[in-house]
Amino acid sequence: MRQFTLILGLLAGCWGQPPPVPPTGVIPDSALLRPDSVYPFIRIDLNTITFAAHILPFWEKLKSNGRKVRVLHVGDSHIQGDIQGREIRHRLYKVWGVGGRGYVFPYHVAGTSSAYDYVSSGEGQWLSARSVQLQPLLPLGVTGIAIGTYDPTAQWEIRWNPAYQPAAKPGARLRLLTRVLRSGIRCSLWVNTSAVPQVRELPVGYALTEFSLTEPLMALRGGWGWEGEDSLSYAELQGIFIEEGTTGITWYSMGISGARLGDWSSLPLLKESLRLLQPDLIVIDLGTNDLYAPNATLANFRQAIEAAIDTIRAVSPEISILLTTPQDFYRSMRALPLLEGASRLIRWVASQRGVAVWDAYTILGPIREWRLAGLASSDMVHLTVAGYALKGQLFAAALLRSYELYRRGALTDVESEKAGLTPPSEAFSAPVPIPLTPSITQFGGNTTVATYTPPRPSYITHKVKPGETIGQIAQRYGTTVAAIRQANGLRGNLIKAGQVLRIPTGRKSSAPSNSKKATPRTHTVKAGESLWSIAQKYGVSVHALRKANGLSSRASIHPGQKLIIP
């Protein structure tokens, strides 16, 4: 319990005032080379980066500290909560200075959970996509997530927990990764409670747009605007990148719950997003969901690893790559012998392809021990908050230990690390055909994917009530279970009370199919209601509601007021 309390104390305080910046690339405290808590089942003696000599360009850039060094840490649910990323930033920034909060996103608008230090929300009518959906509605890049809208009144918001404020200092840069289809699309960004937004016209296509902070960052709200209405009046957000300083390191953690390594290299905008972000190191922390699948094979896993490496190298051979092996986990409460072979396979592929590895499977030890120590959840797959914090500390310590070896000219020779390493023979069997989640052809192929025009949304929202099933909801709204699953990225029929579902429908009304409709419809405003909640109730956009009632964008509503529902 004492260990858990200590870890939570660290979590609450690690994003406060930045530590003094030490001399360039010098580790100020040897405690950074080990985790806060040590357990007998963790191989601290092995906690380093294997084949660290394969990423010499990355070490050299860190040592010179002459320009910004960017790291993209890509993963699944283990990364989406960003507890590991927080610990990594906390330690690395003590060596190279505060590089910024990193990657953030209004996850709630896309129907998934936010990271540890902020909550997000949105209003208006949105399309959204995640890389785990069977047929993502939008073409995706390295972030694996996107929200888009045809509604010029739609907005998203991110609010940081007071314990982690400010999220960035004045002078920090915010880079928004967007996709728009025509000129004249504007992005308005409100910082904190400011009534006056920063406004930028967005470049046509898939691009980054930079904003700057003039005050400490506590909250961020964004929206779009354009003149006139046509089929290309559309704006899309794929990521927000917060950076501080012009030198040192900035660590971006990007995870999508359920993401698979086998899907990653086929994301339609992956290569273009890597060209835009120009990372110096990519950490690929995927594979758990691939190996958890009942039909998992090492042959398919090898194919996925090699495809990921080849995709990055096709963008730039200069990008350093670091793979992590999946940590030990159970499937249906049983150990998976496949994982030892997967660890060996990743190390062998890395030895052949010039890639570094953090061997989490070997270093971290059995998941059963993590569970007994209160570091893993009861599903024996995910970790607890304390477990994710510890894993982040161990990974950061491994990076710093390897960097210190590099700085002293004492990195282990690659040929010595290769000695005796052989791949599992089953990795060279014929791969089993497994459909990829995202499809490039779905968006018109590589040549037109950046200008793909998504269908206008035709859905309403429904908040699941206790006891409701997905079948009952489908019947109520005159749609199918399959359509609801696809619209919400569900792989099964499990839903829970309080969950907000998007219900695909061709009707403009949000009323069930057996409800009586008045013509024209009106609504009397009740206390506490907003245009957003009323629009959601009737399945219309806030823009349409304002237009039908002659309300300007700044006009407010009041209890007792009658509104026409278009």
The pTM of the full predicted model, rounded to 2 decimals, is 0.80
Query: Would you call the peptide bond into 166 cis, given omega within 30 degrees of 0 as the criterion?
Result: yes
Closest by Cα among 315, 309, 312 to 352: 309
**CA 116 from centre of chain:** 12
3-state secondary structure 436-459: CCCCCHHHCCCCCHHHCCCCCCCE
DSSP letters for 154-201: -EEEEEE-GGG--SB-TT-EEEEEEEESSTT-EEEEEETT-SS-EEEE
3-class DSSP assignment, residue 465: coil
* Ordered domains of the chain (ranges, CATH): 1-97+251-291+300-419 (3.40.50.1110), 100-244 (2.60.120.1360), 458-515 (3.10.350.10), 518-566 (3.10.350.10)
Strand partners, 199: 188
Instruction: Quickly tell me which residue has 């910046």 as its tokens.
Output: 21
pLDDT, tens digit only, all 566 positions of the chain: 334 333 334 444 344 344 444 545 788 888 999 999 999 999 999 999 999 999 999 999 999 877 899 999 999 999 999 999 999 999 999 999 999 999 999 999 998 988 999 999 888 788 899 998 877 789 999 999 999 999 898 899 999 999 999 999 999 999 999 999 999 999 999 999 988 999 999 999 999 999 999 999 999 999 999 988 888 999 999 999 999 999 999 999 999 999 999 999 989 999 999 999 999 999 999 999 999 999 899 999 999 999 999 999 999 999 999 999 999 999 989 999 999 999 999 999 999 999 999 999 999 999 999 999 999 999 999 999 999 999 999 999 999 999 999 999 999 999 999 999 999 999 999 887 766 555 556 676 555 687 888 888 776 667 788 888 898 888 877 788 888 888 887 878 889 887 878 787 654 333 333 333 335 678 888 877 777 777 767 666 677 777 778 777 667 788 888 888 87
Strand partners, 212: 173
Residue 187 to residue 184: CA distance in whole angstroms: 10
Residue 66 to residue 73: CA distance in whole angstroms: 22
